[in-house]
Structure 1
Amino acid sequence: MEPENESNPREDPRLQALESLLALPAAELRPTLNTAGQLISELLHADKVDVFLIEMSTQCLVAFGTSDTPMARLQKALGLDRMPLANGGRAVQVYETDTPFITGRQEEDPEELPGIKHRLGVRSSLMVPLPIGQETRGVLGVSSAKNDFFTRDDLRFLVAVARWVGMVAHRVELSQELMKLAVKQARRAAAEELITVLAHDMANYLLPLQARIQLIQRRAARKQDLEDLRDADGAASSLRSLTRLIQDLLDVGRLDQGLFTLRPQPVDVAALAREVTTTANTPGHPVEYRGPEELVMIADPERLRQVLENLVANALKHCPEGLPVGIDVQSQNRPEGLWVRLAVTDQGPGIPAEQLPTLFERFAKGPGSTGLGIGLYLARRLAEAHGGTLEVTSKPGDGTRFEIALPEAPPSTG
């Protein structure tokens, strides 16, 4: 008597093939799918196996994986390894309807492409949808030059195989995405380290340069040389901008290394906002303050000034000449206590919706920006260091509003 649990000999090779599919390395997609196609071809004794994937840019089913067989090589030579959806055919039909297909008389099928029937000589076909991730992304097709070669059992088996091939393809795609992400992160980390080192080195030259400019300013003032005085004032202004940029770069490095600390103390936020307004205001780009005469809270005044200056500088870049940038300050009672809200608004072109999710990322640049892309990143991190938030509201053509919300005192002050 035969043992009850003895396996069916016909099923053993199929199980081994499925195990071999899952054992395929997560390398490049095309070689992996070629290997999968060859495994299936040998298992089903097929003349050709194709793993078709949809190429959305061209609206074609493309044979990304194909068995290494004479019929498959002929298919490629005839250009039948690319099937435009517009041309129809059984493979396209299976993809579009998500329905498996079997035939043993392909030459009699009026729905099949002439090139498949007559030039390739396909007589029997199995085709099933290929799921990758959560969607149908292609078709797994098996062909033979003999009539009535495949059975319904073969079709059911191929449906299962398609799921396994889809898992293999998905694993390869995820592996490639992770590799790209790792390379991107490594490059970014190297660039950030280089920028921090350069910022440290550049900072060493700022004090001597500032001292030289101050000497030129005093000499020009003594001689009443208005032209030299104007040029020296311009150089001093540019140096202040450079100093602020280097300070921002160094602060980014300190935040990443956990070396950043606040120095909270009582600060009149209204007075600070008015000072920023006065400093940033120019005839071509007016800056207007709206808020109370006095509003005292506990915060790091220099860091708060840094946040406001970055937001105002960003607004001035994108606001058309002659239109004002606004700084609004107000208090707000919440269940957890008093909060202060500071908003910087402009009447510029606004920010495209697709750029909003990454606007506060490090080195991310808004529309038309020519800077390093750290101002908004740093502003949000500084707001968060105070226990607050920085959010943006913007619509194309309708200006932009950055709003800081801060508790009356940072968490560390109790």
Structure 2
Amino acid sequence: MLKLKRKERRIAAWTQLQSGLAGKHPSNWNLTQQLHKSNAEQLHQELRFLLIICVIFGSAPISVLPRCSSRFYDVMQYCWLFLLYIWLCFLAYLELNDSSGILNNLERNFYIFESITYLMHIPCVVIVSLSWKRRIGQVFDTIGKFDLASGYIVKRKKIRRFVHFQLFLLFIFVSCAIPIVFFNSDVTTWKSICSWHTYVVPNTMTGFSFVLYYTLMEGICRRLKRLVKALHAELQRGISMRRGALQELRWQHRNLLHFYKVLNQTYGLSILLLYSSSLINFNTNLFLFYKAVENSSNARWNWWCYNILFLIMHTSKMFYILYFNNNVQREQTNCLTLLTTVHGINGDLIETIDHFVLQLQDNVRAHVACDLFELDYKLIPAVFVRTFQSMLFSIILYIPAAHDNHQFIYISTPIRCDISSTGSC
């Protein structure tokens, strides 16, 4: 009964907004403002658990929690994140310094570059998130206003289920990585701690920030679907279509795509670093897999599990980013397709539809990261081509060195395993 009343109130407020366009305020403006705030608070409550985790790991400013908006809590978060980052850098240095003696130059460079990208990614996420501490409240307020103006009803169970599923995937990654690193009897506890903090913790921290990104992208996609359905219903009216309704849908679509563009711009550098670290990890693992094939009898199961786990994790991250962006682009294409099928209407409606079409065609740069590459499925073949090119180049460099030095061949990952004749770790 309460849900029905809430839905009726939102529809009533939406009707007030429609009647109050062209600079006129709705008849009950106070009720509308209260519903704006109610929508924003409801969305905030559904994301509260995710926001708390993001605050702990620096993916969101602590001001996102209303009860922790004072300067004291800001300083506490700054100090905690600074100490955590120094700790990660210290353990990464110990990890790479301890293993440098058993690595050849090519392997050492791979691990150094991979660790550097992780350590660069964390402050990038933290700096961007903390820079939004004065505007994070406006983001929720803007979403609440849009939902009220468009008549979109937030489905609380679906939001909660989506967030829990994304966090569950991260939990699987961590729960699989911990036993592989820590419960290996041949590796000392201190080296296991260093390896875990150098490779697993940074990926987990950045993973929480992308869970928030996926959630916002999924919300954009669902709202676009609602607008496409409303546009389809309006176009079905034929010659009795309302120009004001089309203009309102166009305005809502423009605001939604603008939010989509700002979101990709905000996460642009983080996406670039994620793809960079994923490519480096691909090159490292493929090169080590090539070495393992030459000495397959000595490779240990934990080594294979660790590398396969990281390959799956990096592949999932890259695919997920493209997947959610492709969903938004598909709804934009559906909207454009609907508009291009309209014929036999008067001049005023044709002008409005033409402006709508031009607006959709002008927003092609909304799914571009760092003004460097488009976030669509065309990026996948380019990534794999670069990966295999780098792998072949690494093999060409490795083969002469292996034959000239006549040294034992090592497979070295965060779990350092010597697959020479002794087969020890």
| TM more than 0.5 | no
Higher strand share: 1
Q: TM-score range by the shorter chain?
A: under 0.3
TM-score (norm 2): 0.21
- Return the structure number with greater relative CO, CA threshold 8 A, min gap 6: 2
Task: Give the TM-score normalised by structure 1.
Answer: 0.21
Structure exhibiting the larger radius of gyration computed from Cα positions: 1
